[in-house]
Amino acid sequence: MSSYKISGPSSIICDNGQWNDPPKCLQPCTVTMEEMEQRGIQFKYGPPRKVYIKHEDRILFICRYGKSPADYTFIEYCNDGRMSIPSCS
């Protein structure tokens, strides 16, 4: 199963020598254990390893034991391969 999502039509058509708008593959976001360790966070749910989050999906982070939130948002959304990653200190 692919972590990419399709945006637009699932097929393209040639009409009078011109292609209609082709679909776009929207990239997943990735979060690694190293990134989470550096930021003092972990996943609230799910495996503690590298994860691929599909476009428009969300993931919930929490602070690791003994750490305090440095950011206010811990529910993050993936937008075509880009996502903010919170931190705790």
> What's phi and psi for 68, nearest 5 deg?
-115, 145
Q: What torsion, rounded to 10 degrees, do the Cα atoms 66, 69, 73, 76 define? A: -40
Count of alpha carbons within 13 Å of 48, Cβ hemisphere only? 9
Structure-token pair, residue 77: 């959304």
Question: Does 79 have pLDDT greater than 90?
Answer: yes
- pLDDT beyond 80 at 43: yes
User: What integer is the mean pLDDT of 52-74?
Assistant: 89
Q: How far apart are CA 69 and CA 24, in angstroms?
A: 36
The 10s digit of each residue's pLDDT in 65-77 is 999 888 777 999 9
Q: What pLDDT is stored for residue 62 in this prediction?
A: 92
pTM: 0.75
Question: How do the domains of the chain map onto residue ranges?
Answer: 27-77
